[in-house]
Amino acid sequence: MTRRDDILAGLAAKRAAGRAIIGAGAGTGISAKFLYKGGADLIFIYNSGRFRMQGLSSWVGHLPFGDANAIVMEMGEREVMPVVPDANVIAGVCGFDPTRRMSHFLPKVVEAGFAGVINYPTVAVIDGRMRADLEAGGLGFDKEVEMIRIACGLGLVTTAYVCTPDEAVAMIGAGVDMIVAHMGLTVGGAIGAQHAMAMDEAAKGVAAIAAASRKARSDVFVVAHGGPIAGPADAEKLFKLVEVDGFVGASSMERLPIEEPLRANTHAFTQLRTR
């Protein structure tokens, strides 16, 4: 079996056993180390992870504050994979990057040791006039679909963020292994979304994506991400409302769990009195 075959077989076994598949975004090596120790099946590296762990909104990863693909390569090779060499690390690849040929860039992702890719940053989360202008300017979702198609041919595990059923079907046509139903910026904490859809609305969105995905290919993995799904209890609530295979989190995995404990621990130190 190839590495990809082995990873997918492990995910399929979890699904068959009724256990949630869990992916976790890591913005630092220490995060990756303990996400892996906690049992995450896949460790995702996004350029937004670096910004998020600097105390900035994840949206910064979609804005022109650094080379997204270069940041992910550096994080993977120098910060994450050296401390979790046995983990299945997934690279967030900006497939619509106009300065790179994916046919030349993706082999470097393989050479670096990544197990797979996900389309991030993604235009899927952008709507309205800006989305229309990006699509018209040759910087659209079709570039991300083509990136996934090339990655499949290189033997990488392929995962894809989508926001609509049509985007899911397009990714499945390219051969993607896992659909990640994106419900928006994660709520909560100091820099999370302040206005997000309700859980019932998110469940309907995930269900629509899941139904379209399974109609296109019955064995595709479908997991959820973002919006009101900010912690284990939220994920459990979602799993009771819609049939999905698991959850991929980033802020919910490494930012929200540390914000209050860091504050509380520091506050406890400040209350001490010297002799």
Give the end-to-end CA distance of the chain in Å, rounded to a whole number: 64
- b/e sequence 6-24, b meaning 16+ C-beta within 10 Å: ebbeebeebbeeeebbbbb
Rounded CA separation 219/231 (Å): 27
**What digits encode the pLDDT tens for the residues 221-244?**
999 999 999 999 999 999 999 999
Please state which of the ranges 110-114, 136-140, 188-192 shows the lowest mean pLDDT.
Answer: 188-192
Give 220's pLDDT tier (boundaries 50, 70, 90): very high
Report yes or no: 97 and 69 within 8 Å, Cβ to Cβ.
yes
**Which CA distances in Å does 136 have to 129, 195, 211?**
10, 29, 29
**What digits encode the pLDDT tens for the residues 113-170?**
999 999 999 999 999 999 999 999 999 999 999 999 999 999 999 999 999 999 999 9
Report yes or no: 119 and 176 within 8 Å, Cβ to Cβ.
no
pTM: 0.95
Cβ partners under 8 Å of residue 91, min gap 6? 45, 72, 73, 76, 109, 112, 114, 116, 117, 118
The amino acid at residue 143 is: K
Smallest CA-to-CA distance from 180 within 87, 44, 272, 9 is with 44
**Which CA distances in Å does 272 have to 36, 267, 275?**
34, 9, 10
Smallest CA-to-CA distance from 201 within 223, 226, 178 is with 226
Smallest CA-to-CA distance from 111 within 154, 145, 72, 143 is with 154
Q: What is the DSSP string of 84-95?
A: -TTS-EEEEE-T
Give 182's pLDDT tier (boundaries 50, 70, 90): very high
